[in-house]
Amino acid sequence: MFSGKIGFIGSGQMATALASGMLSAGLLQKDQLLACDVSLASAEKFVAATGGEICPSIAILVEKSDVIFLSVKPQSMAGVLQTLSQVSTSREKLIISIAAGITLATLEAGLGGPGRIVRVMPNTPALVGAGASAFALSQGTLAASADRPSDAQIVRQLLETVGVAEEVPESLMDAVTGLSGSGPAYVYQIIEALSDGGVRVGLPRAIATRLAAQTVLGAAQMVLSTDEHPGALKDAVTSPGGTTIAGLHALESGGLRAALMTAVVAATQRAKELGQPAR
Ligand X SMILES: O=C(O)[C@@H]1CCC=N1
- Cα–Cα dist 203/162, whole Å: 34
- Which residues between 114 and 153 bind ligand NDP (CB under 6 A)? 121-124
242 binds, among ligand NDP, ligand X, none (CB under 5 to 8 A by kind): none
Q: Does 255 bind ligand NDP (CB under 6 A)?
A: no
What's the closest the beta carbon of residue 133 comes to ligand NDP, in angstroms?
A: 9
- Cα–Cα dist 16/22, whole Å: 10
Nearest to 219 by CA among 194, 201, 242: 194
Q: Report CA torsion sign: 247, 248, 253, 256.
A: positive
Q: Does 180 bind ligand NDP (CB under 6 A)?
A: no
- Which residues between 88 and 107 bind ligand X (CB under 6 A)? 100
What's the closest the beta carbon of residue 13 comes to ligand NDP, in angstroms?
A: 4
- Residue 12 assigned to a binding site: yes
HEC states along 214-230?
Answer: HHHHHHHHHHHHHCCCH
71 binds, among ligand NDP, ligand X, none (CB under 5 to 8 A by kind): ligand NDP
Q: Does 73 bind ligand NDP (CB under 6 A)?
A: yes
- Residue 9 assigned to a binding site: yes
90 binds, among ligand NDP, ligand X, none (CB under 5 to 8 A by kind): none
Q: Does 12 bind ligand NDP (CB under 6 A)?
A: yes
Phi and psi for 52 in degrees, rounded to 5? -70, 170
Q: Report CA torsion sign: 36, 39, 42, 48.
A: positive
- Residue 14 assigned to a binding site: yes
- Residue 207 assigned to a binding site: no
Q: Considering only residues 182, 195, 209, 268, which one is a binding residue for ligand X as defined by CB under 6 A? A: 182
Q: Report CA torsion sign: 43, 98, 28, 147.
A: negative
Per-residue buried b or exposed e for 220-247, using 16+ beta carbons within 10 Å of the residue's own CB? eeeeeeeeeeeeeeeeeeeeeeeeeeee
Q: Does 198 bind ligand NDP (CB under 6 A)?
A: no
Q: Does 98 bind ligand NDP (CB under 6 A)?
A: yes
Q: Considering only residues 29, 39, 243, 262, which one is a binding residue for ligand NDP as defined by CB under 6 A? A: 39
- Cα–Cα dist 278/147, whole Å: 43
Q: Got the DSSP string for 101-129?
A: T--HHHHHHHHTS--SEEEEE--GGGGGT
- Cα–Cα dist 16/54, whole Å: 13
What's the closest the beta carbon of residue 182 comes to ligand X, in angstroms?
A: 5
What's the closest the beta carbon of residue 178 comes to ligand X, in angstroms?
A: 8
Taking residue 258's Cβ as centre, other Cβ atoms within 10 Å add up to: 10
- Cα–Cα dist 64/62, whole Å: 5
Instruction: Name which of 72 and 158 has its Cβ closer to ligand X.
Output: 72
Instruction: Name which of 9 and 208 has its Cβ closer to ligand NDP.
Output: 9
- Which residues between 162 and 181 bind ligand X (CB under 6 A)? 177, 181
What's the closest the beta carbon of residue 266 comes to ligand X, in angstroms?
A: 11
Binding interface with ligand X (CB under 6 A) = 100, 177, 181-182
Binding residues for NADP(+): 9-14
